[in-house]
Every structure is written in C-alpha cells, then in structure tokens.
A and B are shown apart, each in its own frame.
Chain A
Amino acid sequence: MSPVTVGLIGIGVLVLTFLIGMPVGFAMAFVGMAGFCLLVSPDAGLSLLARDFFANLSAYSLTVIPMFIFMGSIAYASGMSRRLYEAGYTVFGQMRGGLAMATIAACAGFAAMCGSTNATAAAMGRVALPEMKRYNYNDSLATGCVAAAGSLGILIPPSTIFIIYGIMTEQSIGKLFIAGVLPGILLAGLFITVVVILCKRNPNLAPGGLPTTFKQKLAGLAGVIEMMILFALVIGGLFLGWFSPTQAGAAGAFGALLIGLARRQLTWKGFLFAVKDTLRITCMVMIIVTGAIIFGHFMAVAKLPLVLSEWVGGLPLPPMAIMGVIVLLYLLGGCFMDALALITLTVPIIYPVVLVLGFDPIWFGVIIVLVTEMGVITPPVGLNVYVIKGVAEDVPLETIFKGVLPFLAALLVAVGILMAFPQIATFLPGLALY
C-alpha cells in the first residue's frame, strides 16, 4: 500500500472513531500513532507518542492558551459579563429587539476579554436570556442571537483559534489577533442588522424595553471602560510589541484579577471557580492540539498535504473558486465535527494548498475563524447551541437551531465580504510595529 493510501484510510478510520464517540483528542493521537507505526516502524510510532506529548505540553508558545482562558474566566467570575450587558441595555434597551442588540454588543465586548465561543455564549447566555424571557422575547430569536453572537469570542481578540492557527502555521499570533478586530466589528454589525430586519418583519418577536435615565447610561459606561482598559492593555501591548502572546495573556488575566478585586466583585470562591474552569478548558484544548500534532506527523509521512497541494495547485480553476470550495467543505465538515478538532485536523493539510494558491496566511486565518464560527452553531454538532441549551433548558434544541439560521446567513455574508475585500483583515496587521 502506498503511503497516500494509508493516509486516506487513516482519515477514514479517524472519522469513524469520531462518530462512535471517542474523545476527539484521544482519537487523533491514537490513529496518528497507529498510522505512524504502520508507515515508519512500531518503535518510531510509540516513541512519537511520548515525544509529541512532552514537546507540546512543555512548549512555551502554548502556555498562551491557559493565560487567555484564565483571563476570560476571571472576567466572568468578576461579573464583567453582567456589567457589559447592562451597558448594552442602556444604549439599545428601549428599541424593538434592543435586548438582542444589547446581547450582541455585550458579546462583542466580552469577546475582547475572552477567547472562546462557548465561554462567551455561556457567560452572556446566563445574563441575557433571563432578561429576554422577562420581556417576552421570542425564544428562537433570544437563544439564536446569544448562540451566534457568542461565536464572536474567537474572532474579536483574544482568540484560542487564532492562537492554535498561529502556532500550527508559524504565523504571528499578535498579527492574527489584530486582523480579527475589524471583521469582528463588521460581523457584530451584521448580527445587529439581522435583529433589525427580523424585528421589522415581525414586530412581535422582540418588544422594546423600558427607557433608561442618563444616570443609568453613565453607570453602564463603567462596564465598558474596564473592558476597554483590558483590551487596550492586551491587544495594544501585542500591537506595539511590548508583550509576547503569553505575557499579553498573563497581563490580561492579572488586569482582570485587579479589576475584580478593586470592584470587590471577585470572591475567593469565584477565583477558585475561574482556576477550575481554566484547567478544564485548557486540558481539553491541549489534548486536542497534541492529538492533532501527532495526527499531523502521520499525515506528513503519508505525504498527503504535499500530494493534495500539488493536485489543487494544478486544477484549472481560479484560486478564489478553490477557496470557495474549501470554505464550503469547512462548512459541511463543521456540521459533523467539533470545530476545534476540524481546524487542528485540517489546517496542516489545507494550509500548504492555501500558500500554493497565493493567499495571505493572516487573511486565511480570519476565514478559518469565520468558518469555525459557523461550525459552532450549525446542527447537529453546534457546540454553542448545546451551551445555550444548558442555560435555557426549557427551550427545545430545534428552536435554538432555527433561531441561529438568520445569523448563519450573516456569517456567510461576512465570509463573502472578506473574500471580496481582504483588506478588512489585512489592513491593521500591516500597521503592527514589529
């Protein structure tokens, strides 16, 4: 059997192990090790397992992951998500669909402190959903908008997906972070537009809330200011070359800790919750990344990325059409696979193709994040939808998936806009001072 055939069989076996419910990180490590044993030697495959585990777990570049997750967890434990929502409410609250708009704006704000889609959805869902219920918002709109806006968590920096993409493709994490800012604002705007359109078509979906006083608006501003300080510290520090990514994450986590203590909102119990939450998410992410690295080594000896990039590079199609097909494949893959697993599994295979086609790696990172955002809300494996289901237990899953659909259309529009105007993603990284 040729190495390429073994590689293709390996992918088939991996998908099968995913479908029977083996944890995705374990499955990638297992199949990757077995494939390496087969193609190189049993000794080499077994030794690869231990070496890759140690190399990844002890990689300084990967310690950025727990730091940014810690920052988000502390921000949540310090009540920052609630204060951001209250700020959003003072601006949009009295408008029709205003609470949904406030939720999207608050998600965008929380995304500036948190790098995960499900953490953003969970944090804002716990705050926003009871409020929208109180004002008789349509369940589908309320849950759909939090699930979709929660996905902004990985587009607006910091972002675990940008970190993982940056490490896998050796691109600057700082530049990737900065590249996500404008597309993040664009997407938040598109999500708000979706709410406006939906409410125009059916005013009963989302009644307006009570007006707020100037004093309340001023008080709401405090929630935005603390978010802006953290964002400026972390992203500004990266932008100006003050911090390495790990240092930026640590500075952000420390800043969130200080804000929580200064506001007397972070209790010892809240801090311990943040530690445990960070460990669980970090461990889950690190095991998937390590599994993907082992699987990537198997793919490399199977020569699959090389063969694929040569084949795609020779296709008589314009690069943008091939990119369209890649995005479509990601969209389909995202329906059936966990988004993080999909990215870690496919980036080593697809990335050489993207380079051959002449696309900007930073721009492709933003596209990857957008398709990942779709993956976390598309049925049947949309993780964010399950997170929201965990918060709104009385709402059927189908209702949430239905509510997510208009926002999915907005995500597709965003991908289209970014394909037509790549400068939206590449403009800011071009200004970085390093």
Chain B
Amino acid sequence: MSGKLERLERFVDSFSNWLNWVAGVGLVAILALTVADIFGIKLAQAGVPFFRPIPGGIEVVAFLGVVVTAFAIAYTQILRGHIRVEFVVMRLPPRAQAYIAAFIWLLSFILFALLAWQSFEYGLSLQAKGTVSMTQRIPFYPFVHAIAFCCIPVCLALALECFKSVRKAVKG
C-alpha cells in the first residue's frame, strides 16, 4: 500500500512540476509579447516602417494569464506555497493537528473537485455558444477546459495530503 502511495506521490510531483514549466513558458511568453507590443506601438507611432502593434496582443496576454496561474496551482500546493494561518493549529497536540489537517485538505479537495466539474461544464457551454474573443476570435472554451484539467493534479495532491493526515491521526 505504502509503495503504491509513494509511486502515486512521485507521479503527482513530477506531473505538477511539468505543468509548472508550462506555466513558466506562459510567463515568458507574456513578457515577450508585451515587450514586442510596446516596441511595435512606439516605433509605429514614430513612423518607423514595418513596425506595428501585435494584433490582439492584449487578448493573447489575457489568455496566457490563465496558463500562468492555472498550470502552477498544483506545484504551488506541493511546495505549500498557498498562504495559511498556522499559529493556532501549531499549538495543538500532533494528533489533533492531523485530524484538523485531514479536514482542511478534504474541504480543499471538494473545492477543486467542484471547480473541475463546473469549469468543464462551463467550457462545454461556451463551446456550444461559440464564444470567441473580440479581435482575434480566439475561442474561450479551451482555456476554461485547461482550468478543469489543471484541477486534476491539485485534487490528487490534496487527496494525498488528506490521506496522509488521516493515517497520521489514526496511528497517533
């Protein structure tokens, strides 16, 4: 059992790390696009030939914003990077801490499971309606589905945390 758990944990870690690098590419792309857009706008204003703003640059940057955050949620969770108030719980006995941890990770798991389900449904409705961005006509739904997809490793990481806390609480 514990071997399987460790294998699952290793998979979630490396999967989340991989997604985090996708977010990294999104971050660098936002930087590159925005800087190129600035040069395009300013040089076009100055009358330099061949330079122009990137068409729909703002829309692309906004969608890349989804990539930067959504793809980094799981890895940030693994790093325990989501801010928590720990000073009260830290004063409790270890067993009580483990029970409380199991409860909060269960609540968090429910939140992201609901988010995955609802994002998937929302993405389907946007796809059916054919909702696209104003200038470049980029469809919205792939990015909403991306949020749903990114919730999967988050749910796995939270379920593992919850399971480990329950085991710690039961063993005492």
Residue positions of A touching B, CB distance < 8 A: 17-26, 29-30, 33, 46-47, 49-51, 53-54, 57-60, 62-63, 66-67, 70, 242-243, 246-247, 250-251, 253-254, 275-276, 278-284, 286-288, 336-338, 340-341, 380-381, 383
Instruction: For residue B59, give the distance in angstroms from its CB to the closest CB of chain A.
Output: 8
Are A67 and B38 CB-contacts (below 8 A) given A57-B69, A59-B65, A246-B61?
Answer: no
Instruction: For residue A397, give the distance in angstroms from its CB to the closest CB of chain B.
Output: 10
Are A21 and B86 CB-contacts (below 8 A) given A49-B114, A279-B23?
Answer: yes
Cβ–Cβ contact B122 & A26, under 8 A: no
Q: A279-B27, A282-B72, A283-B82 are in contact. List 7 more A-B contacts (CB 8 A).
A: A22-B108, A26-B108, A29-B111, A63-B64, A279-B72, A286-B69, A381-B85
Cβ–Cβ contact A341 & B83, under 8 A: yes
Are A57 and B70 CB-contacts (below 8 A) given A50-B115, A247-B37, A287-B82?
Answer: yes
Cβ–Cβ contact A250 & B122, under 8 A: no
Q: Summarize B's interface: helix, strand, loop or mixed.
A: helix
Instruction: For residue A38, give the distance in angstroms from its CB to the closest CB of chain B.
Output: 15
A243 to B42, CA, bound (A): 10
Q: Of B65, B81, B122, which is within 8 A of A62 by CB? A: B65
Chain B residues lying within 8 Å of A278, measured Cβ to Cβ, are: 27
B127 contacts partner chain A, Cβ-Cβ < 8 Å: no
Cβ–Cβ contact B81 & A280, under 8 A: yes
Cβ–Cβ contact A46 & B118, under 8 A: yes
A74 to B35, CA, bound (A): 16
Per-residue A-contact encoding for B60-96, CB less than 8 Å = 1, 0 else: 0111111011101101100101111111110000000
Chain B residues lying within 8 Å of A336, measured Cβ to Cβ, are: 85
Chain B residues lying within 8 Å of A17, measured Cβ to Cβ, are: 104, 107
Q: Of B42, B61, B76, B122, which is within 8 A of A283 by CB? A: B76
Cβ–Cβ contact A58 & B35, under 8 A: no
Cβ–Cβ contact B108 & A20, under 8 A: no
B30 contacts partner chain A, Cβ-Cβ < 8 Å: yes
Cβ–Cβ contact B85 & A24, under 8 A: yes
Are A23 and B108 CB-contacts (below 8 A) given A47-B122, A54-B122, A60-B58?
Answer: yes
Residue pairs across A and B with Cβ atoms less than 8 A apart, 18 shown, are A18-B85, A20-B104, A21-B100, A22-B84, A26-B107, A50-B115, A51-B122, A57-B69, A58-B143, A59-B65, A243-B38, A275-B27, A276-B20, A279-B68, A280-B79, A281-B81, A283-B82, A284-B81
Chain B residues lying within 8 Å of A341, measured Cβ to Cβ, are: 83
CB nearest neighbor in B for A242 = B42
CB nearest neighbor in A for B37 = A247
B31 contacts partner chain A, Cβ-Cβ < 8 Å: yes
Cβ–Cβ contact B111 & A54, under 8 A: no
A63 to B64, CA, bound (A): 9
A365 to B89, CA, bound (A): 32
Are A284 and B63 CB-contacts (below 8 A) given A17-B107, A67-B31, A338-B83?
Answer: no
Cβ–Cβ contact B87 & A380, under 8 A: yes
Chain A residues lying within 8 Å of B83, measured Cβ to Cβ, are: 23-25, 284, 288, 338, 340-341, 383
CB nearest neighbor in A for B35 = A254
Instruction: For residue B158, give the distance in angstroms from its CB to the closest CB of chain A.
Output: 9
A337 to B88, CA, bound (A): 11
Instruction: For residue A4, give the distance in angstroms from its CB to the closest CB of chain B.
Output: 25
Q: Of B61, B63, B75, which is within 8 A of A279 by CB? A: B75
Chain B residues lying within 8 Å of A67, measured Cβ to Cβ, are: 30-31, 34
Instruction: For residue B118, give the distance in angstroms from its CB to the closest CB of chain A.
Output: 4
Cβ–Cβ contact B69 & A251, under 8 A: no
Cβ–Cβ contact A20 & B89, under 8 A: yes
Cβ–Cβ contact A21 & B88, under 8 A: yes
Q: Of B31, B72, B144, which is within 8 A of A250 by CB? A: B31
Chain B residues lying within 8 Å of A279, measured Cβ to Cβ, are: 20, 23-24, 27, 68, 72, 75-76
A22 to B42, CA, bound (A): 46
A407 to B58, CA, bound (A): 42
B8 contacts partner chain A, Cβ-Cβ < 8 Å: no
Per-residue A-contact encoding for B28-65, CB less than 8 Å = 1, 0 else: 10110011011000100000000000000011011111
Chain A residues lying within 8 Å of B31, measured Cβ to Cβ, are: 67, 70, 250, 253-254
User: CB within 8 Å of A: which of B138-155?
Assistant: 140, 143-144, 147
Chain A residues lying within 8 Å of B28, measured Cβ to Cβ, are: 275
CB nearest neighbor in A for B120 = A50
B156 contacts partner chain A, Cβ-Cβ < 8 Å: no
Cβ–Cβ contact A280 & B119, under 8 A: no
Cβ–Cβ contact B84 & A24, under 8 A: yes
A58 to B30, CA, bound (A): 12
Chain B residues lying within 8 Å of A49, measured Cβ to Cβ, are: 111, 114-115, 118
Cβ–Cβ contact B89 & A21, under 8 A: yes
B12 contacts partner chain A, Cβ-Cβ < 8 Å: no
B103 contacts partner chain A, Cβ-Cβ < 8 Å: yes
A242 to B38, CA, bound (A): 9
Q: Of A21, A276, A287, which is within 8 A of B85 by CB? A: A21
Chain A residues lying within 8 Å of B147, measured Cβ to Cβ, are: 50, 53-54, 57
